[in-house]
Amino acid sequence: MKVTNIWTGNWENALRGMRHPMESYAKCDSYMDTSVEWDSSNFYNVEQNFKIGPNDIDLAQRLIKAGSPHDKFLRQIFVSMDITAPLYWWKEMDQYRVGCTTNSTSTMHKLATTPITIDCFEIDDYDKEWFKSTGIEASCDTWINNNIIYFLESLRQKYLETKDIRYWKELIRWLPESWLQTRTWTADYSVLRNIIHWRQNHKLSEWQQFVNHCRSLPYADELLFYNQSFEK
């Protein structure tokens, strides 16, 4: 799994709206720190310089502890990122649809355009030596390359050679769940809190990786991980 091009935004508007119910605007102490020069190579956009004051942190955390709908300001803190992950993980990520939008690379249009190699699949935690010890034949790298990848690549080349859509359909049909797909994923801090709560201890290692990426987001400890039901 790889997560890149992370962006967060709308902080000032979200925190201003947080104070509408009690009209407590005079207590707002967040600000844009213009003394810090914006680094265009940084993970985040110019809103990396937005600083949340202690009064606003206190109110935000009290609203989070009060639960929905009191913490709805979190839905107005936007986040976007490019995620490269296997199809078996995307199937689970797709359960979080409220307030989310994705735009993905296309197997429909681009699957046949580049060679199929081992690098097209999720193998980050593939333990070759353990797999060999199980006695399962498919644990052998040679078997994987000479069978699974060879089969898929042969279908791809046949499709390019003949333009017969039946080859393309079989390529789509037998594509393994470990196939890596990149999507630009856009949501908000409320969705992320929900994901962290329900997926923190999931047996898929990709969820642990995703939660760790969430820890790098602005004010993650104060908002995303605050008052969660598990130990950090």
The predicted structure's pLDDT at residue 161: 96
Number of alpha carbons in the 13 Å side-chain half-sphere of residue 17: 13
Contacts of residues 146-150 at CB distance under 8 Å and 24 or more positions apart, as own/partner, are: 148/176, 149/116, 149/117, 149/118
Secondary element (H or E) of residue 91: helix 87-93
pLDDT (0 to 100) of residue 39 = 56
For residue 230, tell me if it sits in a domain.
Answer: no
Same domain, 37 and 58: yes
* Domain-embedded: residue 163: yes
Task: Kindly report, residue by residue over 26-84, the tens digit of the pLDDT.
Answer: 999 999 887 766 555 554 444 568 899 999 999 999 999 999 889 999 999 999 999 99
Give CA torsion, residues 212, 217, 218, 223, to 10 deg.
Answer: -60
Tokens 């107005």 — which residue? Answer: 76
Handedness of CA 201, 204, 205, 207 (dihedral sign): negative
Q: Is residue 232 part of a domain?
A: no
For 145-190, how does the pLDDT look when each residue is reduced to its tens digit (9 = 90+)? 888 999 999 999 999 999 999 999 999 999 999 999 999 999 999 9
Q: Do 121 and 60 belong to one domain?
A: no
Domain count across the chain = 2
- 69 upstream amide cis, omega within 30 of 0: yes
Record the pTM. Answer: 0.86
Do residues 77 and 184 share a domain?
yes
Q: Does residue 85 carry a pLDDT above 60? A: yes
The domain in which residue 139 lies consists of 106-173
SS3 191: helix
The predicted-structure confidence for 181-228, as pLDDT tens digits, reads as follows: 999 999 999 999 999 999 988 999 999 999 999 999 999 999 999 998
What's 81's domain CATH number? Answer: 3.30.1360
